[in-house]
Amino acid sequence: MRKEDCYFLGKITRKHGLAGNVILKLDTDQPELYNKLESIFVEINGLLVPFFIEKTSWSKTDALNILFKNVTEALAEQVLGKDVYLPLSTLPKLSGKQFYYHEIVGFEIREEDGKSCGIIQSVNDQTAQHYFMLKLADRDVVIPIIKDWILEVNRDEKYIQMQLPDGLMDVFLTDSKKDE
């Protein structure tokens, strides 16, 4: 399995008990989708290694207690702090204005009038307010991801149409260099 064919699910944060159980801290806003995992891929030395799951239970609201099949406590120790992935094919298809962050990289952001705000280079979800990182000509543009601003997600033509507040794009389009 290649990493580019997968999505990040979370990180194994610690051991739980003495039987080789580990705690998987999920990076999702829908942890209930992962109640019945059968296997996961753990990134070890740059490779995705499959681990099969015998049993799961909830440790906290977004953390799973996992007991692997045929894994010793010593092997469980080796996966601590490692990233966990699942194949993209396991994600349910989204429609309408819903989207996964990984699927919209490369999409264009357009204002209501069709004017381009730039192409999505990445999505920052490491802050309280998630935002698009765009490239417009030679400028970097940051647009907050606010559901009410999103008017349309067009997967065929690869754009997201948004209703942006007046003046937001002016911040990025004014020449920031001052005359010397």
In whole angstroms, what is the distance from residue 100 CA to residue 32 CA? 17
Can you give the pLDDT of all 180 residues of the chain as single tens digits? 899 899 999 999 988 876 778 999 998 877 888 888 999 999 999 999 999 999 888 877 678 888 888 887 788 888 999 999 999 999 888 889 999 998 999 999 999 999 999 999 999 988 999 999 999 988 899 999 999 999 999 999 999 999 999 988 888 776 544 444
The partner residues of 108 in beta bridges, in order of sequence, read 119, 159
Q: Name the CATH superfamily for 3-90.
A: RimM (2.40.30.60)
With 0-12 / 13-18 / 19 or more C-beta atoms within 10 angstroms meaning exposed / middle / buried, residue 81 is exposed
pLDDT at 177: 47
Q: What predicted TM-score, i.e. pTM, was given to this entire model?
A: 0.72
**The domain over range 101-172 is classified in CATH as 2.170.140.10:** no
What is the distance between the alpha carbons of residues 107 and 160, in angstroms, rounded to a whole number? 7
Domain ranges (residues) in the chain = 3-90, 101-172
- Which residue, among 125, 20, 124, 71, has the nearest Cα to 133 in the 3D structure? 124
Find tokens 């499959």 and name the residue: 50
